Structure 1
Amino acid sequence: MKSSDRERIKLNPPTNITNRGTPHFVGRKDQLEQLHRELQNTDKLAICAIAGMGGVGKTELALQYALRYQHNYPGGLCWLSVRGGDLGTQLVSFGRRELGLTIPDELEFNDQVRYCWRNWPEGTVLIVLDDVHYFGKDYKQRIQPYLPPAQSRFKVLITSRQRPGASYRRIDLDVLSPEAALELLRTLVGQERIDKELNAAEALCKWLGYLPLGLELVGRYLDIHPNLTIAKVQKRLEKKKLAAKALLYPTEEGEMTAQLGVAAAFELSWQELPSEAQQLGSRLSLFAQAPFEWFLVENCVIETEDEDDSEEEQEELEELRDRFLVNRNLLQLTEYKTYRLHQLIR
């Protein structure tokens, strides 16, 4: 790297982040601070994962963190989209374009990746791996080989619908609090309109399960239909559920980080499930919205009276529940050891 390039990078840390994030970011101050602590409080390579269901705001939280704490990363910020993209190719492209590296073409591809890490500019670096949808064997083959070296100056932030192993620092991102959900609607629709229909607005937040993506999509829908009452919009949503226009795709009005609507975000997680887990999820959708004890599920599903066969079926159910539904944040385990599905998933 030329000395002139080094001076340029010192003044302007390299980054490929162009998205400025939603201007309606609310209710995540504690998670931002926790995320920063997790990434900074270590003397070796730090890897922290934001895990949560589709539409809960994982990518937005990662983006807001990168933007707000960019001064902590003078070595640069590199955003890599995992789903549908090859990490190594993205990394080598970043090295050439943003770092100004002259990577020898004659090097083997994996050596080109290592060349990037070895010649990365000085200073702490943030690497974001957005939407990691697999762990285990695929992760070891498709992601692990491209992770930075075990040096404390590299910080890796992962977003995923799945929960990674215990070896990773993890932040489980839940839906917004009722207060934050109402605040989000106010920023999108206007305080006067929300306060005028406060009870209806609170009911709408609850019906949407306090899901940030759902709230933002419906809030923007309300904004472009100023003559519709909030109660009327909720009736439309209840009638069409996830087929409603307001929940399908982000509107063209305003800037949104999410590239998918609520239905599409849920569908991505659903498609990854084996048929047995999909069948169990469908049965769970018949339960009430309130948290339920797992033995109720066993009573509904297990029909055999043979003790050995019953125990085997219990184990199979637990495997489907924990490995596929809970691990992908489609089913939530509460602090009271009960379970519940998100309202929109139901």
Structure 2
Amino acid sequence: MTIGVPKEIKNNESRVGMTPGGVFELTKKGHTVNVQSKAGEGSGFFDKNYEKVGAVILNTLEDIYTASEMIVKVKEPIEREYPLIREGQIVFTYFHFASSEPLTKAMIASKSICIAYETVEDEEGTLPLLTPMSEVAGRMAIQQGAKYLEKPVKGRGVLLGGVPGVAPGKVLVLGAGVVGIQAAKMAAGLGAHVTILDINMKRLRYVNDVMPPHVVTEFSNEFNIRKHIKTHDLIIGGVLLKGAKAPNLITRDMLKDMRPGTVIVDVAVDQGGCVETTKPTTHEDPIYIIDDIVHYSVANMPGAVPYTSTMALTNVTLPYVLKLANLGWEKATESDDALRKGVNIIRGEVVYDEIIETFGWN
């Protein structure tokens, strides 16, 4: 099979869909790998590194899409890429269709085979291709939140860890999944007081067992959310519904109950956000302020640490890329239940129920 690795063109996205190590594994099996020139530079991988392991370097985005049977990338295609994707072409990437009807309609129109990293689901119900980026984003959420709590960027002027004689900052984490646990771990490490909410008591028991005493758990409901947003300095949105739009746990009217300069980091932005006032931002212009509340909702947070993120992502995607290349998408998905759940659109037909439900296409 001929595999194409394009340069990501989303704002400030420096990750790449395949490392030279991945190219080596594919070429060793007799596959051809086309890599767009400079695709890996942002992650520290140069054209010469790819050429040494047998990659074919092509100059343009158009060349990659034209010459490749399968596209392996990181972020969802953006508008410039829509017309480049052709019928029957496999596109293996993060799609997050539930957050974008225009993207969904464009991929339907392309009649391509869309396999989404974020809905590949193993027999234990975990999402192996989403987990590493959730780990990165959860940790980064605290890093970014701590920065935007500073007064020069309109935050409350709170140091999360506090100092002797001054209480630490308070962090509210919505969701005890991968993002939430990683965020709680980082915040706790800084010395902040952390409250983590979830509706899954099994997850809350786990958090209670593994976290230090200054991380407390509570059941998630509107009453508890409204109570805590009044006193917490940093709010992390880490809610995930597999393949579907995230629920709005914080509504516009709740902002008035928060103290001016409170920071919201909505990691769920890729799935539409769990805060009603969330809108996607970029690393170039990451925040906006509504009712004196600082919102940080960068849709590709791990793109800011591309070396770490690329290595973490490709560690888990490569086995699936190899299977797709070796067997073709039909045999690969027939033989692998987890990969089959990643198939969202087949030649113009949406086959993932949560997408259909999100847009009311029943």
Higher strand residue share: 2
Query: Structure 1 length as normaliser, TM-score?
Result: 0.32
Query: Max radius of gyration: which structure?
Result: 1
Query: Structure 2 length as normaliser, TM-score?
Result: 0.31
Higher helix residue share: 1
